[in-house]
């Protein structure tokens, strides 16, 4: 669990600002996943990326949300023009291959929109 | 989309008691996973189940993959205070499938 590094751990943004969440996968892992957890809910899949490619973004809201995993550097989840409903915990996970049982989650980034 | 119904939503138990929670689904899953999440932390994998009928233990935890592949349960024996947290089930629908579908969690409180 500790191997997937997320930052910031806590982020406060005013409505209309941008939020950028970063994720460094575990060493040797090239598959990155982002999940969102609303209060009192389970995690919901957002997007799956490999280096320089978005493989599946079926869980991402169509507007304001984007994700990337560049050749160098961490994966970034970007939320533009945040609204109160974006307040949630955003979890990054990584795996060495495509297999749910080897997915390891980071400690999360808690976004609060005021 | 696929949904998992997890119950109970919350439990208050005395230290030393056994605990049981379960997940059911309207669709078939090929893998069932159980996670624990502590406040302010990410989920940590407890047990993974890969075959219908499989019963797997991890210390005081035991989980089973239902025969119909539409349900799973998790038992915790002789609970201790550090068992407090939220337990999530998650299903994975097929080989090579990367998406996990999570239940809403069971919040466990242990009274010393």
What tens digit of pLDDT does each residue of B73-94 get? Answer: 999 999 999 999 999 999 988 6
Distances (CA, A) of B24 to A58, B15, B19, B73: 24, 27, 17, 9
From A72's Cα to the closest Cα of chain B, the distance in A is: 23
Residues of A engaging B, defined by a Cβ cutoff of 8 Å: 1, 4, 31, 33, 35, 40-45, 48, 56, 59, 91, 95, 98-101, 103-108, 110
- CB contact under 8 Å between A42 and B103, yes or no, is yes
From A44's Cα to the closest Cα of chain B, the distance in A is: 7
**CA–CA distance, A38 with A2 (Å, rounded to integer):** 22
Structure tokens at A27: 């060493």
As averages over each run of 10 residues, the pLDDT of chain A (114 residues) reads 86 98 94 93 93 93 96 96 97 82 88 97
Among B21, B19, B4, CA closest to B80: B19
Chain A residues inside the 8 Å CB shell of B106? none
Chain B residues inside the 8 Å CB shell of A31? 98
**CA–CA distance, B71 with B89 (Å, rounded to integer):** 10
Interchain CB contact of B72 with A (< 8 Å): no
pLDDT value for B98: 81
The total number of residues shown for chain A amounts to: 114
């Amino acid at each position: 669990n500790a191997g997937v590094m997320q930052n910031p751990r806590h982020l406060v943004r005013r409505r209309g600002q941008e939020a950028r969440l970063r994720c460094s996968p575990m060493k040797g892992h090239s598959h990155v996943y982002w999940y969102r957890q609303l209060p009192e809910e389970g995690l919901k899949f957002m997007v799956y990326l490999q280096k320089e490619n978005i493989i599946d973004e079926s869980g991402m809201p169509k507007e304001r949300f984007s994700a990337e995993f560049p050749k160098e550097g961490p994966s970034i989840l970007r939320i533009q023009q945040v609204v109160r409903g974006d307040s949630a915990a955003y979890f990054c996970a990584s795996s060495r291959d495509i297999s749910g049982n080897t997915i390891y989650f980071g400690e999360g980034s808690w976004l609060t929109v005021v | 989309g696929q949904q998992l119904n997890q119950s109970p939503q919350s439990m208050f138990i005395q230290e030393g008691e056994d605990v049981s929670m379960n997940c059911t689904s309207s669709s078939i899953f090929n893998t069932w996973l159980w996670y624990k999440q502590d406040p302010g932390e990410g989920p940590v994998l407890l047990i993974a189940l890969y075959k219908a009928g499989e019963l797997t233990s991890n210390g005081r935890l035991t989980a089973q993959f239902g025969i119909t592949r539409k349900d799973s349960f998790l038992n915790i024996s002789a609970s201790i205070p550090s068992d407090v947290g939220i337990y999530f089930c998650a299903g994975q629908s097929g080989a090579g499938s990367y998406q996990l579908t999570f239940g809403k969690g069971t919040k466990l409180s242990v009274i010393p």
